[in-house]
Amino acid sequence: MYNVRHDECDWTRPISIEKFVFVNFFGTIFTKETLELDINAYIEIKSFKTELKYIKFKIRRKLFERILNL
């Protein structure tokens, strides 16, 4: 389980995936796979976009493939 942190000035914009988020909590990600956090213990979300019923955010391709077991 990982938590998503939102931007300090915009609660609708997630900015990182982390093991623990106590301030600016955006949501939770459940996965059986272990994510590779960087040296600062988070994964930066480089872009985020909502489309109708879908939410899209961009992470490293290698990490995405690992989450989906590709």
**Residue 53 pLDDT more than 80?**
no
pLDDT digits (tens, 9 = 90+) for 26-42: 999 888 888 889 889 99
Confidence of residue 54 (pLDDT cuts 50, 70, 90): low
Query: What is the percent of the chain with per-residue pLDDT over 90, rounded to a whole number?
Result: 37
**Residue 52 pLDDT more than 70?**
no
| Residues 32-55, mean pLDDT to the nearest whole number | 81
The secondary structure of 3-67 as a DSSP string is EEEEPSS-TTSEEEEES--SSSEEEEE--SSPP---TTSEEE--EEEEETTEEEEE--HHHHHHH
Token code pair at residue 13: 């914009």
CB 27 within 8 A of CB 15: no
